[in-house]
Each structure stands twice: as structure tokens, then as C-alpha cells.
């Protein structure tokens, strides 16, 4: 940060810009003397729209170019959907804040002409669009009679593709749908018992240069303690499993009332095969101060109960694997 100016870097999609502008507004509101600017940067994931995410790799797919701008001192703050941010950050960068989390659930968006509003209400053979192996795995595990088709692009593009298709509907993250005002199109908010969300889903991660004390002080006001603890457990689990969008992994951690003076942290997680035939799912709970330890512990439980073999099978198909 120079001369009281904070330079934010963001992807150029409507959702990414909404997120960057939200951060801009919060910083200006809480630090009136600070000048905030936004620079739009295009990432590899924004350029390669014709291939499934699982086929083009996921280490820094939506973050690397923005992180390079941070390292080159062209920006001071990078605003990411936390689910896009790899658990291992480049040397010289750190996670400055995790903002208060929006709803973590996925939602089913039915085709405008489809009167069946829920996933369970779809007939056998119905086509559901999703670009996520995690969603596909859990959907097919519950409903192997359904068909899936890959879907990528920003939210506006996805809604347009759905309207011009013969699909029954599509699955999206509720957080993005709410932020861009598409709530009226939601047919069903999907229970986490049916589909666990992506690690970090619904939260914003604020990435900064390590040792940039002036920026640390500025972005600290964005941090939310409960969201930080929950997502720290999820990211510790993902780091131990060495997973990303090439592997069907879901997790949901939250603070729950324990009936005593202190809340407890509860985390559910799953690892599944690409076809949804096999899923290993588990839960752990404990002291929120041990969030990362709880996440790693659940990862070890899943590995011991069969997730290790599922992951080996997936990596044998995909070839050399880069951990996220």
C-alpha cells in the first residue's frame, strides 16, 4: 500500500466484481481516509471456458495471475472466492482475512419450463447441468438414474444456457445466486445431507503480501472469527487429502451451541468416486481453538475408511497430480 491507496485485484466476472466492490465498500466505510481502486485481471480459468475444470488442472486456475500481480506490487489486495484459493499459497503471500460467510449450500435451478422444483422431483433420465465433480458425484450417488452434463461460464452465461437447453435444471452455489440477485430462480436449497459444499464455499478470502503490515492493518476489519475457524478446519482437511476440483471432496464446518459457555466446531466431509458409486463420509467435532487439528483428524478418518483407495484410483486415471 502506497500513499494511503489500496489497490484491489479481481477477476472480471459479474460475481467477482460484486465481491471486489463489496470489499471496496467495506474498506471505505471503515477507513474513510483510504482511497480504494479495483483492477480487473484475467485468469487461466477465465480464458479456458471450453474444457471441464477437471480436465485442465486446478492449482491456481482462478488465482495465479492475480497472485502474480500481488507479488509484482501491482495490487495490494486480491479478493477471491475462498473455494478457488489453493490451500498452499505462493511464497511471499498470505491470507489476510476471511470475510463473514454467505450461505454455504448448493441450490437447484430448474429450467424455466420445468414445473418440478426439486432434485428428488425430477424423473429418471433427467439431465442436470453442473461443472463440479463434487456435485456430480453426490448427485449420482443419491440419484444414479439421472444424467449430468458439464457446465461452465459466469452466472449470466449459465442461466442463458439453461434457458436455451432441454436440461431439467442446474446446480449452483447459493452464495453467488444471492449476491447477483437470482434468488427468485431457486427451486430448492439442497440440504448438506444430500450434497456437501466445496471447501470454503460462500466465503471470501483476502490475499495480501506477507509482511505488508500497512495492508494487514487495513484488511483486518474484514475478518470474521466464526467463518475463519470453520474454513480453517475445511482447508486443513483438504490440504491433508491433497484435493481440488479434480477430486470429488466436500466439507462443511460450523460453530454449534454446545450447551455450555463455549461453542463446539463440527465438520462433515466426504470423498467420492467420479461416478458417485462410492462415497466415504464422516464427522468430527471439538474445541474451535483446535479447528485445523479437527479438520486434519477427519481427513485421516476418511482415508482410513476407504478414501485413500478412492483418491488413488482417481489419480491413476488423471495421471500426475498437483496438490491444492
Measured distance CA(181)–CA(169) in Å, rounded = 18
Measured distance CA(40)–CA(43) in Å, rounded = 10
221-233 CB burial, b ≥16 within 10 A, e <16 = ebebebbbbbbbb
Residues 6+ apart with CB under 8 A from 120: 143
Measured distance CA(145)–CA(107) in Å, rounded = 20
Active-site option among 58, 84, 106, 212: 84
C-alpha cell belonging to residue 50: 471450453
Can 84 be counted among the known catalytic residues? yes
What are the helix and strand counts (H, E) for the chain? 11, 13
Angle, alpha carbons 126-49-81 (nearest 5°): 90
Among 2, 34, 75, which residue's Cα sits nearest to residue 218?
A: 34
H-helix or E-strand spanning residue 231: helix 225-241
Residues 6+ apart with CB under 8 A from 24: 8, 36, 38
Residue 8 and residue 20 in contact, taking contact as beta carbons nearer than 8 Å: yes
- In three-state secondary structure terms, 142 is helix
**What is the bridge-based pairing of β-strands 93-98 and 77-81?**
unpaired
**What is the bridge-based pairing of β-strands 35-40 and 5-10?**
parallel
- In three-state secondary structure terms, 3 is coil
In this structure, the number of other CB atoms found within 10 A of the CB of residue 283 comes to 11
Question: What positions carry a catalytic annotation?
Answer: 84
Amino acid at each position: 500500500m502506497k500513499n494511503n491507496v489500496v489497490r484491489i485485484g479481481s477477476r472480471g466476472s459479474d460475481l467477482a466484481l460484486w465481491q471486489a466492490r463489496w470489499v471496496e465498500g467495506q474498506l471505505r466505510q471503515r477507513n474513510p481516509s483510504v482511497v480504494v481502486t479495483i483492477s480487473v485481471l484475467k485468469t487461466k480459468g477465465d480464458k479456458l471456458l471450453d474444457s471441464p475444470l477437471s480436465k485442465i488442472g486446478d492449482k491456481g486456475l482462478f488465482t495465479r495471475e492475480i497472485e502474480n500481480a500481488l507479488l509484482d506490487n501491482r495490487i495490494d489486495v486480491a479478493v477471491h472466492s475462498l473455494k478457488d484459493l489453493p490451500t498452499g499459497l505462493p511464497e511471499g503471500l498470505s491470507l489476510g482475512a476471511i470475510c463473514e460467510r454467505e450461505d454455504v449450500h448448493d441450490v437447484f435451478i430448474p429450467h424455466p419450463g420445468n414445473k418440478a422444483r426439486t432434485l428428488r422431483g425430477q424423473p429418471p433420465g433427467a439431465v442436470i447441468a453442473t461443472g463440479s465433480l463434487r456435485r456430480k458425484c453426490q448427485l449420482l450417488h443419491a440419484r444414479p438414474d439421472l444424467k449430468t452434463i458439464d457446465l461452465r461460464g459466469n452466472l449470466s452465461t449459465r442461466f442463458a444456457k439453461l434457458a436455451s437447453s432441454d436440461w431439467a435444471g442446474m446446480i449452483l452455489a447459493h452464495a453467488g445466486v444471492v449476491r447477483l440477485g437470482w434468488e427468485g430462480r431457486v427451486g430448492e436449497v439442497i440440504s448438506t445431507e444430500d450434497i456437501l459444499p466445496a471447501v470454503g464455499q460462500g466465503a471470501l478470502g483476502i490475499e495480501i503480501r506477507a509482511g505488508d503490515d500497512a495492508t494487514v492493518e487495513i484488511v483486518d476489519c474484514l475478518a470474521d472469527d466464526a467463518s475463519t475457524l470453520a474454513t480453517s478446519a475445511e482447508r486443513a482437511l483438504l490440504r491433508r487429502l491433497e484435493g481440488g476440483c479434480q477430486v470429488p471432496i466436500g466439507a462443511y464446518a460450523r460453530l454449534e451451541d454446545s450447551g455450555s459457555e463455549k461453542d463446539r466446531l463440527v465438520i462433515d466431509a466426504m470423498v467420492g468416486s467420479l461416478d458417485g458409486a462410492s462415497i466415504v463420509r464422516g464427522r468430527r467435532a471439538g474445541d474451535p481453538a483446535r479447528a485445523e487439528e479437527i479438520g486434519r483428524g477427519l481427513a485421516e478418518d476418511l482415508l482410513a475408511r476407504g478414501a485413500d483407495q478412492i483418491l488413488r484410483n482417481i489419480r491413476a486415471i488423471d495421471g500426475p497430480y498437483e496438490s491444492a
